[in-house]
């Protein structure tokens, strides 16, 4: 047996700190497995091999490294990017590795336009590093595939020049170039190809020509995530590193703290207390709030000392806010005229003229939600003697982190290096940027590398939250039992007016208003997984259900009848009809519900089945989802994403729900911010009804919006209870 002594001050340091050298992926014995570089934080500029472009490095051994800009947060970005690139590059997939692109190099290229790719909207060398909005495949495939096509043609041209043939006589497949009986590998021609500039960029393949995209390919990161090898920001260890635990004023933008460091400074390992100060007038998403931090030699020492330190907060002027005041304001506002987003006086007139029995109304609301990423926000900042700064983070938008740290420390952008890690979930939380500023300032003040970890309590209380929402719907009916006019007025939420104004149903008159005031409230908000469409869909698709039922319709047939002029919706609804159907004849206590919502360029619908006992115990039995994202590049990964979207939608329907009292979040951890567990997991069926052609929709989020309203509609069918708010734990579903 080995014998290792570990003292308190002695750290085992990962090879990350040593830096340098090409880290090839390890081979894992599963068929068809190309493997991601296990250490994606390594400086991508340090590798051996030949850089054909910023996207592709070819090693003499034949290993091809795809240097890609997008964040891996479980959505399969690194695999998707490599697949899209290799559809064109035609390299041997088993020899492909993936590495994160360097945000510093990306950003610094902005000053040299000739380096920027000729793509509209490019903000750096890899076009964009932002990963969100279900965009990685939907919006990025053209330039990613172009990078692969360009490299392939340069390799072919290199072979053609060497062999004295024309480029179109050379074929490229599985990293091998051939022309007649001539044969050579990509690695052999990489050097010559690197100096070739094409007179004209090749045309990309059209979807009918795809041979690799559209096949189920195992995600490259999976083998690293079954043995503890995958590294997250949470796992960074640097020589001389100390740990910070932080406590921000729980009332956002509240005042400063009085705290007594002397009371804890003799505790084991404690090094310092640091106060971070908000800057007057700066209330942006990345701006510092008032924070007290304790720095110690281990996280346990830092966290324990912080918990024990006497701290008295000045909560400031917003300390009276609560969920009660929030929704009192919301419903008051729903009674007042809001910002007109779609003006239709005829709709208002029709509603005013409609008799009570020809009208349906419905109010809905949802509370603020935390992201509750699996990995609590963690950032490590190392301000080095040479003036450069390393920031170790898992971020959906690394250049934003870079900008935040540059601003906080007042350094030159060229000296800031964001070392990217795997993310323990993303969900549109931008709190990593905010935490990077905290870590940078603390590192500066203590003069040591600092690893800052938000406790789960800090994470749930003080993250940037997904906003609360309220909505009022009114519809007037014609003699045929179908709606003629609809009025909507919403409060808060993310700006997703289009989801309401573009509702696909043939309701001729529509008027829409929105009170966006919530955005000016003291609680900082950000996105979520399908934020706006999820909130709107929860309300609109339940209201639509009431409209269908008022006319005596089967709600699935109603949606089919009312979208006759929307072939895009018909594809999805017909798939739901074929795969799930909708039954009106279930016994009381059992119910089916349907919902369909367009989001992120895709249309997704769900048919859910629930049971509700007389005493109000309920269970989601089954969720059948149909999605039209136009194309899918990896059915395995796409299926996982839709399954995960269903769980996300259910998690914040069955549970979740931030409770504000005294101006701040009262939930503190997973015991009182309850999120779905395996025991609540229904059967989920995922069907792709793909229209193809020019449509490229997202897949990471569109499954979220229809899930909650389909379940809510099923609960109504089973119990007669309309679900006007979340979480469901606040509702009595019993029936007699």
Shortest separation between residue 539's beta carbon and other proteins, angstroms: 23
Q: What is the 3-state secondary structure (H, E, C) of 150-176?
A: HHHHHHHHHHHHHHCCCHHHCEEECCE
Between vectors from CA 123 to CA 117 and to CA 126, what angle results, nearest 5°?
50
Residue 727 preceded by cis peptide, ω within 30: yes
266 binds other proteins (CB under 8 A): no
Contacts with other proteins in 64-93 (CB under 8 A)? 73-76
Of positions 181, 206, 227, 565, contacts other proteins by CB under 8 A: 227
The least distance separating other proteins from the CB of residue 4, rounded to whole angstroms, comes to 5
Selection from 517, 469, 458 nearest residue 496 by Cα: 469
- What three-state secondary structure class fits 343? coil
Contact status: 482 vs other proteins (CB under 8 A) = no
| CB closer to other proteins out of 51 and 229 | 229
Residues paired with 473 in a beta bridge = 362, 488
Q: Is 143 in the site for other proteins (CB under 8 A)?
A: no
| CB 299 to other proteins: min, Å | 6
When asked if residue 633 is in the footprint of other proteins (CB under 8 A), the reply is no
Q: Applying CB under 8 A, which of residues 88, 102, 344, 375 lies at the interface with other proteins?
A: 375
Of residues 424 and 591, the one with the C-beta less far from other proteins: 424
Q: From the CB of 478, what's the least distance to other proteins, in Å?
A: 42
Q: Is 225 in the site for other proteins (CB under 8 A)?
A: yes
- Of 351 and 453, nearer to other proteins (C-beta) is 453
Taken in order 153, 154, 157, 158, the sign of the CA dihedral is negative
β-strands 257-259, 311-313 pairing: antiparallel
Which residues does 367 contact at the CB level (< 8 Å), separation at least 6?
A: 323, 326, 468, 656, 657, 658, 659, 725, 726, 727
Q: Would you give the distance in Å from CA 428 to the centre of its chain?
A: 4
The single residue among 153, 235, 541, 628 that binds other proteins, judged by CB under 8 A, is 235
In whole angstroms, the minimum distance from the beta carbon of 71 to other proteins comes to: 10
SS (H, E, C) 417-483: EEEECECCCCCCCCHHHHHHHHHHHHHHHHCCCEEEECCHHHHHHHCCEECCEEEEEEEEECCCCCE
Q: Which of 94, 237, 550, 622 binds other proteins (CB under 8 A)?
A: 237
The arrangement of strands across the sheet holding 176-179 comes to 171-173, 176-179, 182-185
Residue 458 as a binder of other proteins (CB under 8 A): the answer is no
Q: Does 456 bind other proteins (CB under 8 A)?
A: yes
Instruction: Pick from 190, 675, 711, 723 the residue near other proteins by CB under 8 A.
Output: 675
Minimum distance between the CB of residue 36 and other proteins, rounded to whole angstroms?
Answer: 11
Q: Label each residue of 499-548 as H, E or C.
A: HHHCCCCCCCEEEEEEECHHHHCCCCECCCCCHHHHHHHHHHHHHHHHHH
Is 677 a residue that touches other proteins (CB under 8 A)?
Answer: yes
**546 lines the binding site for other proteins (CB under 8 A):** no
Question: Considering the complex, what minimum distance in angstroms separates the CB of residue 79 from other proteins?
Answer: 10
* Torsions phi, psi for 583 (to 5 deg): -110, 130
CB atoms within 10 A of CB 284: 11
Q: Check if the beta carbon of residue 727 is closer than 8 Å to that of residue 670.
A: no
Q: Which helix (H) or strand (E) holds 229?
A: none
**DSSP labels for 196-210?**
---SSPPPPPPGGG-
| Structure-token pair, residue 369 | 């939600």
267-296 residues in contact with other proteins (CB under 8 A) are 268
Indicate whether 2 belongs to the interface with other proteins (CB under 8 A). yes
Smallest separation, CB 492 to other proteins (Å):
24
Q: How far apart are the first and last CA of the chain?
A: 67
Q: Which of 42-50, 348-356, 410-418, 673-681 is the region at the interface with other proteins (rule: CB under 8 A)?
A: 673-681
- Pick from 254, 424, 449, 534 the residue near other proteins by CB under 8 A: 424
* Residue 640 engages other proteins in binding (rule: CB under 8 A): yes
Choose which of 117, 202, 218, 635 interacts with other proteins (CB under 8 A): 218
Span 341-360, contacts to other proteins by CB under 8 A: none
The pair of three-digit structure tokens given for residue 406, joined into one six-digit string = 């540059």
Output the smallest distance, CB 141 to other proteins, in A: 21
Give the H/E segment covering residue 403: helix 398-409
Q: How far is the CB of 717 from other proteins (least distance, A)?
A: 24
Span from 276-284, 442-450, 484-492, 667-675 in contact with other proteins (CB under 8 A): 667-675
Closest approach, Cβ 460 to other proteins, in A, equals: 10
Interacting stretch for other proteins, rule CB under 8 A, among 175-183, 450-458, 480-488, 514-522?
Answer: 450-458
CA distance 679 to 510: 42
Tokens of residue 671, six digits: 């015991």
Q: Which of residues 555-584 bind other proteins (CB under 8 A)?
A: none
Cβ of residue 315: shortest distance to other proteins, in angstroms?
Answer: 25
- Strand, helix or coil at 708? helix
Task: Return the beta strands (E) in 254-410 as ranges.
Answer: 257-259, 270-276, 291-296, 311-313, 339-342, 359-366, 378-383, 389-393
State the nearest-atom distance from the C-beta of 652 to other proteins, in Å: 11
Output the smallest distance, CB 28 to other proteins, in A: 7
| Cα 390 to Cα 409: distance, rounded to the nearest angstrom | 12
684 binds other proteins (CB under 8 A): yes
Give, as ranges, the residues between 295 and 324 that touch other proteins (CB under 8 A): 298-300
Smallest distance, Å, CB 373 to other proteins?
7
**Does 374 contact other proteins by CB under 8 A?**
yes
Residue with Cβ nearer other proteins (49 or 703): 703
Contact window for other proteins (CB under 8 A) among 40-48, 326-334, 559-567, 670-678? 670-678
Contact with other proteins (CB under 8 A) among 219, 365, 437, 528: 219
- Kindly indicate which of the ranges 102-110, 425-433, 499-507, 725-733 contains the residues binding other proteins, using the contact rule CB under 8 A: 425-433
Task: Assess 257 for contact with other proteins (CB under 8 A).
Answer: no
Does 181 sit near other proteins (CB under 8 A)? no
């Amino acid at each position: 047996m080995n014998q290792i002594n570990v003292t308190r001050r002695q750290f085992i340091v990962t090879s990350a700190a040593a830096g340098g050298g090409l880290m090839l992926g390890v081979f894992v014995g599963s068929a068809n497995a190309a493997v991601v570089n296990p250490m994606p934080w390594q400086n991508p500029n340090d590798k051996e091999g030949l850089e054909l472009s910023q996207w592709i490095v070819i090693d003499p051994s034949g290993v091809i490294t795809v240097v890609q800009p997008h964040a891996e947060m479980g959505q399969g970005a690194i695999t998707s990017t490599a697949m899209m690139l290799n559809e064109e590059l035609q390299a041997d997939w088993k020899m492909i590795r993936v590495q994160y692109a360097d945000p510093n190099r990306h950003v610094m290229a902005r000053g040299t336009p000739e380096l920027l790719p000729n793509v509209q909207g490019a903000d750096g060398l890899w076009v964009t590093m932002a990963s969100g909005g279900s965009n990685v495949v939907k919006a990025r495939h053209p330039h990613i595939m172009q990078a692969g096509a360009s490299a392939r043609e340069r390799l072919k041209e290199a072979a053609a020049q060497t062999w004295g043939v024309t480029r179109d006589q050379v074929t490229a497949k599985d990293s091998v170039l051939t022309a007649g009986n001539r044969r050579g590998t990509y690695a052999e021609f990489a050097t010559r190809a690197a100096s070739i500039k094409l007179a004209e960029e090749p045309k990309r393949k059209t979807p009918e020509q795809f041979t690799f995209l559209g096949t189920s390919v195992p995600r490259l990161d999976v083998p690293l995530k079954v043995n503890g090898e995958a590294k997250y920001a949470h796992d960074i260890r640097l020589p001389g590193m100390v740990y910070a635990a932080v406590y921000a004023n729980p009332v956002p933008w509240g005042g400063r703290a009085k705290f007594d460091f002397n009371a804890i400074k003799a505790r084991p390992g404690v090094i310092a207390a640091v106060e971070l100060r908000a800057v007057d007038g700066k209330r942006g998403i990345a701006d510092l709030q008032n924070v007290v931090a304790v720095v110690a030699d281990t996280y346990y020492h830092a966290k324990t000392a912080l918990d024990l330190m006497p701290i008295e907060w000045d909560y400031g002027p917003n300390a009276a806010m609560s969920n009660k005041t929030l929704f009192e304001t919301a419903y008051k506002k729903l009674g007042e005229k809001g910002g007109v987003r779609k003006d239709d006086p005829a709709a208002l007139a029709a509603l005013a003229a409609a008799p009570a029995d020809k009208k349906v109304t419905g109010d809905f609301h949802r509370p603020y939600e935390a992201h509750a990423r699996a990995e609590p926000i963690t950032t490590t900042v190392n301000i080095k003697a040479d003036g450069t700064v390393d920031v170790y983070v898992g971020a959906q938008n690394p250049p934003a982190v870079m900008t935040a740290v540059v601003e906080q420390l007042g350094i030159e952008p060229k000296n800031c290096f964001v070392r990217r890690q795997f993310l323990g979930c993303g969900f549109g939380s931008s709190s990593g940027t905010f935490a990077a500023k905290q870590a940078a300032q603390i590192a500066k003040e203590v003069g040591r590398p600092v690893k800052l970890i938000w406790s789960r309590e800090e994470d749930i209380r003080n993250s940037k939250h997904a906003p609360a929402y309220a909505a009022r719907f009114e519809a007037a009916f014609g003699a045929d039992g179908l709606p003629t006019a609809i009025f909507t007025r919403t409060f808060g939420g993310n700006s997703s007016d289009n989801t309401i104004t573009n509702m696909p149903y043939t309701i001729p008159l529509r008027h829409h208003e929105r009170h966006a005031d919530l955005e000016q409230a003291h609680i900082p908000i950000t996105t979520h997984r399908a934020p706006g469409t999820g909130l709107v869909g929860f309300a609109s698709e339940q209201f639509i259900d009431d409209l269908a039922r008022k006319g005596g319709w089967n709600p699935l047939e109603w949606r089919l009848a009312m979208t006759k002029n929307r072939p895009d919706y018909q594809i999805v609804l017909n798939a739901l009809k074929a795969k799930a159907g909708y039954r009106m004849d279930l016994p009381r206590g059992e119910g089916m519900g349907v919902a369909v919502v367009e989001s992120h360029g895709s249309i997704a619908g769900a048919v859910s089945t629930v049971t509700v006992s007389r005493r109000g115990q309920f269970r989601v039995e089954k969720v059948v989802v149909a999605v039209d994202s136009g194309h899918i590049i990896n059915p395995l990964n796409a299926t996982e994403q839709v399954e995960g979207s269903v769980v996300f939608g259910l998690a914040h329907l069955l549970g979740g729900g931030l409770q504000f009292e005294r101006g701040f979040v009262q939930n503190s951890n997973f015991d009182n911010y309850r999120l779905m567990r395996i025991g609540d997991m229904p059967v989920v069926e995922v069907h792709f009804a793909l229209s193809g052609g020019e449509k490229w929709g997202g897949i990471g989020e569109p499954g979220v919006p229809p899930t909650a309203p389909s379940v809510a509609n099923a609960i109504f069918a089973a119990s007669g209870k309309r679900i006007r708010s979340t979480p469901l734990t606040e509702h009595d579903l019993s029936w007699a």
